Amino acid sequence: MDNAKSAASPGDENLDYGELAGSLGFLLRLSQLQSFAGFFSGMEGFDVRPGEISVLMLLAQNPGVRQGVLARALMIKRAHMTKMVRAMETAGIVTRTVPEDDRRSVELWLTDKGKARLDTMQAPFLAHETRNASVLSATEEAQLKTLLRKYLGLADPET
């Protein structure tokens, strides 16, 4: 039962999570919420949400990626992705092009303004990531990331 109680957040020392303490989905959800709280604290003043910075970072790594491919990779619903990309385009940080070989698709590119915005957020984001894993040793952090990539079916960047 001690393991179940250790899953509680600060201030909830007496809460018994029972079977939930062994639920992968529940633990992932609480972990995400805790990570997002740290994200919003660390990224205060940048007016950016986790999904948006993920899009910007992936666009920097994959210029010209098709919007549908990016939406599937980030598990963002098509309508939400379209709305986000339109807002980013209106803000001047993303451009959309229609490829000649598939007029139904849209390719996405960071503008110079988008690259500059991402550059200003890079250090605070990396600081958040460092704080985010601060309760883990370097080995534990690497192991957790490896297991999560496996769970999600993502390639290990080391290989």
Per cent of the chain over pLDDT 70 is: 92
- For the whole model, what pTM was predicted? 0.82
The answer to whether residue 159 scores a pLDDT higher than 70 is no
Do the domain assignments include residue 112?
Answer: yes
Beta strand segments in the chain, E: 65-66, 94-97, 107-110
| 67 and 7 within one domain | no
CA distance 155 to 99: 27
| 127 and 57 within one domain | yes
| 36 and 76 within one domain | no
Q: Is 119 exposed, middle or buried (0-12, 13-18, 19+ CB in 10 A)?
A: exposed
Q: Which domain holds residue 105?
A: 48-132
110-154, pLDDT tens digit by residue?
999 999 999 999 999 999 999 988 899 999 999 999 999 999 999
